[in-house]
Chains A and B, each alone.
Chain A
């Protein structure tokens, strides 16, 4: 009896929480399919239209260039951050160097600094360098934000790999780099993929730095959303359509991670 009650309470709570999380997203999808006149009405009975998804790519919104900016910034950040972080993570995990723990802590401690504290120095720096409103500036900033996190994540995955196989490879005649290529990378792939996707999501969603460091040319999607608050009022149906465009890639990647994450957990040592 008591068990049943607990079971019911648990499930009720799950339903409530899921509803709170899912409903706004669901509503956004719904609104993105509405015509402007329906946008403010709370109804499921409306004429669905894909018009909004076309409008946002037209003048004056030009979401296309923002999609490109976001994709380039996130993509290049991942392509630089992940290989570098993988090597760093391997070193932190395997080499018993003096001061290794302190160094690792220092790297991680950069994550404790609130973004608002450093956004202004970054702004001044990039102004002096003439890099304001460029994708390069965003990539540099995002690298600074994301790299410590990715190092930490990948280190976790590498720590869990058996050292035996690596030592066996070294004895079989492999150099350290060869060991990383032939043994560590294939075994750490699920972990590295997961980290890459996390990295991509973080960069893709980054808002504050993009807001401060860009004006027109390098604006990314999250910042672009703000454009839909006009003097004519908030254009909810267009904002929702843009929101859907931001969310869908992340959604797909989340599904990918889920698959790889369980793989990452189950691949492991053979004893």
Chain B
């Protein structure tokens, strides 16, 4: 069932276009993540769904009902703001209680419900405090508690974890995922952090300059990026992108000659992830370059190689050893992990297989 629908929604601030005529359908129970660099229009999109911002043109439907002219309070949504948007003059308990109070729930039921939720997010000992007396993580939990204290049609979350330290972010991420599983409420989640997007989403909408450039499952976004932007944005370290040509069954660039099943083409970009490459000893391998940097990340070693202007990163096992300036040979690790992009349009034209270390 469809929960949220954006039809040709556009947003302008004066002459500046923050969102260009985009359509998006969000299914019931889905965890949709809006992912993109800062300033690409994620918050704007979310605020329009919330009703905090008017659309310039287009339609927004929630549960098949046009909500363009409905104020936020009538849209049955809950939102977690990036800066939490807590009520500084109210205690933690009053903050969580406020949505229930607005719905005219009686005091006894309210108190019971607040306590239930407080226990769920482990705030029960802090109920009497003011938001200013809490740490960032605790405030975040108050904001979350206030959102889940009632069951809205949709949760909206705008970078809810971005103000937390790295460790807490990982814990809270798991909490959010579990919560979504438990409540099953449709969630729209904004982030610029690809790890958050990959781990939380049922589908990711990758945005750039006011447009959705790919909308798909995390798996497909990762393994079949539609265009160079997504290819470069997703993955850490990002995908190797090598400019070159395809001639008589080979992709060719400086020091690179890889067999591909594709017709001849000029000005293409070959994309391959570091983990889909490996370093081999055969000097007849498709790519030859010298070691430029070696970084141990813990679970693996990242080896960056350079040949003239071409730079290629390979993920090797943690015990891999090499010295800088060693000349190495690189081959594909698996089949079906090479992507060809049209250099001028940036679109993917093919994902082709290559026999690993064919030579």
Complex CA distance for A172 and B88, rounded to whole angstroms: 15
Interface residues on A, range: 20 to 34
Complex CA distance for A164 and B132, rounded to whole angstroms: 15
Complex CA distance for A226 and B280, rounded to whole angstroms: 104
A170 within 8 A of B: yes
Within 8 A of A (CB), among B323-338: none
Give the shortest distance, in Å, between A264 (CB) and chain B (any CB).
13
Complex CA distance for A270 and B103, rounded to whole angstroms: 26
Please tell me which one of the listed residues B51, B81, B89 contacts residue A168 in the complex, with CB atoms under 8 A apart.
Answer: B81
Contact between B85 and A187, CB atoms less than 8 A apart: no
Which residue of chain A has the shortest Cβ distance to B86 in the bound complex?
A: A270
Binary interface encoding of chain B residues 310-334 relative to chain A, with 1 for a CB under 8 A from any of its CBs, else 0: 0000000000000000000000000
Contact between B73 and A164, CB atoms less than 8 A apart: no
Contact between B83 and A162, CB atoms less than 8 A apart: yes
B117 within 8 A of A: no
Please report whether the interface of chain B is mostly helix, strand, loop or mixed according to DSSP.
mixed
Contact between A178 and B102, CB atoms less than 8 A apart: yes
Q: Please name all residues of chain B whose beta carbon is closer than 8 Å to the beta carbon of A168 when the two chains form the complex.
A: 79, 81, 85-87, 146
B119 within 8 A of A: no
A171 within 8 A of B: yes
Known: A172-B78, A174-B73. A164 touches B50 (CB 8 A): no
Contact between B81 and A164, CB atoms less than 8 A apart: yes
Please tell me which one of the listed residues A162, A171, A178 contacts residue B72 in the complex, with CB atoms under 8 A apart.
Answer: A171
Complex CA distance for A270 and B72, rounded to whole angstroms: 23
B39 within 8 A of A: no
Contact between A169 and B88, CB atoms less than 8 A apart: no
Complex CA distance for A171 and B139, rounded to whole angstroms: 18
Give the shortest distance, in Å, between A175 (CB) and chain B (any CB).
6
> Total number of A-B contacts with CB less than 8 angstroms?
73
Contact between B88 and A165, CB atoms less than 8 A apart: yes
Contact between B146 and A172, CB atoms less than 8 A apart: yes
Report how many residues on chain B are interfacial, defined by Cβ distance under 8 Å. 26
B98 within 8 A of A: yes
Contact between B81 and A183, CB atoms less than 8 A apart: no
Please report whether the interface of chain A is mostly helix, strand, loop or mixed according to DSSP.
helix
Q: Please name all residues of chain B whose beta carbon is closer than 8 Å to the beta carbon of A174 when the two chains form the complex.
A: 73, 102
Q: Please name all residues of chain B whose beta carbon is closer than 8 Å to the beta carbon of A162 when the two chains form the complex.
A: 83, 85, 88
Contact between A187 and B102, CB atoms less than 8 A apart: no
Contact between B50 and A171, CB atoms less than 8 A apart: yes
Complex CA distance for A262 and B103, rounded to whole angstroms: 36
Give the shortest distance, in Å, between B263 (CB) and chain A (any CB).
54
Contact between B85 and A165, CB atoms less than 8 A apart: yes
Give the shortest distance, in Å, between A185 (CB) and chain B (any CB).
10
Known: A270-B131, A271-B83. A171 touches B88 (CB 8 A): no
A167 within 8 A of B: yes
Give the shortest distance, in Å, between B202 (CB) and chain A (any CB).
23
Binary interface encoding of chain B residues 43-78 relative to chain A, with 1 for a CB under 8 A from any of its CBs, else 0: 000000011100000000000000000011100011
9 inter-chain pairs at a CB distance below 8 angstroms, sorted by A residue, are A164-B84, A168-B146, A170-B72, A171-B156, A172-B102, A173-B103, A182-B98, A186-B89, A268-B88
Known A165-B88, A170-B51, A269-B83; 20 more pairs at CB < 8 Å: A164-B81, A167-B52, A167-B79, A168-B86, A168-B87, A170-B52, A170-B73, A171-B73, A171-B77, A171-B79, A171-B156, A172-B102, A174-B102, A176-B71, A182-B98, A183-B87, A187-B88, A268-B88, A270-B139, A271-B83
Residues of A within 8 A of B (CB): 162, 164-165, 167-176, 178, 182-183, 186-187, 267-271
